[in-house]
Structure formats: C-alpha cells, structure tokens
Amino acid sequence: GAPQPAAQLDIDHDGRMFWDSEPVATLAALEQRLRAHAQHSPDTPLQVHADARVRYALVAQALAAAQRSQVRKIAVEPIADE
C-alpha cells in the first residue's frame, strides 16, 4: 500500500500544541494521541514543528512523551523566524 502521510505535531510560539491541526490541550492528551499513533501507524513518521520562540523544555517534554509512547520515527523541524 501507499505510505502513510506523516503525522504532524505543531507547537506554536505560545506553547500551544496541535496534532494534524487539531488543538491538543495537555501533555497527557498528547501522549494518548502518540500511543494511538504508535499502535496504528508504527511506520508513519511523526513530524514535530516547533516555533523557534517556544521554550525548549516544552519541546523536550513532547519528544519524551513520544519516546514513552513507542513512536519509532520522529523528525524535529524547527520553524525559522519569519
């Protein structure tokens, strides 16, 4: 079959998170999405787009949650300042 399009996690400059454009309110909610992603689409990469102004600690927490959830393929792409 055709490869799955990557799942996308965006973190904006205020630290708000969006999974494929849908708002994710908390890290716990993010972890649920990550677990479902790892179970249903283990070979689909997760692309993390983090605004350059966001606190790195938040990005690190999101990546740690992805690893705990057994997401195998993670690509982090910082968003350059316009």
3-state secondary structure of 77: strand
User: Is the model's pTM score more than 0.75?
Assistant: yes
pLDDT attached to residue 81? 60
Task: Please choose, from the candidates 44, 48, 38, the residue with its C-alpha nearest in 3D space to the C-alpha of residue 17.
Answer: 48
Distance of CA 32 to the CA centre of its chain: 12
Condensed to tens digits (0 to 9), the pLDDT of residues 1-54 reads 666 678 999 999 999 999 999 999 999 999 999 999 999 999 999 999 999 899
Cα(70)–Cα(51) distance, rounded to whole angstroms? 24
- The angle subtended at Cα 41 by Cα 38 and Cα 46, nearest 5°, is 70
Compute the half-sphere exposure of residue 38: CA atoms within 13 Å on the CB side of its CA: 16
Condensed to tens digits (0 to 9), the pLDDT of residues 61-76 reads 999 999 999 999 999 8
pLDDT attached to residue 25? 96
